[in-house]
Amino acid sequence: MIKPTDKREPAPKRGLECPDCGCKHFRVLYTRRAWGGRLLRRRVCRHCGRRVTTYEIVSS
Say whether pLDDT at 2 is over 90: no
Predicted structure pTM score:
0.70
Does residue 19 sit within a domain? no
User: pLDDT by residue (tens digit) across 6-57?
Assistant: 678 877 878 899 999 999 999 999 999 988 889 999 999 999 999 999 999 9
Domain span holding position 46 = 26-57
Does residue 50 sit within a domain? yes
Does residue 47 sit within a domain? yes
Q: In what order do the strands lie in the sheet with 51-57?
A: 26-33, 38-45, 51-57
Does residue 36 sit within a domain? yes
Does residue 46 sit within a domain? yes
Does residue 10 sit within a domain? no
- Residue 31: beta bridge partners? 41
Q: Which candidate, 1, 2, 47, places its Cα nearest to that of 21?
A: 47
Does residue 3 sit within a domain? no
**Total structural domains within the chain:** 1
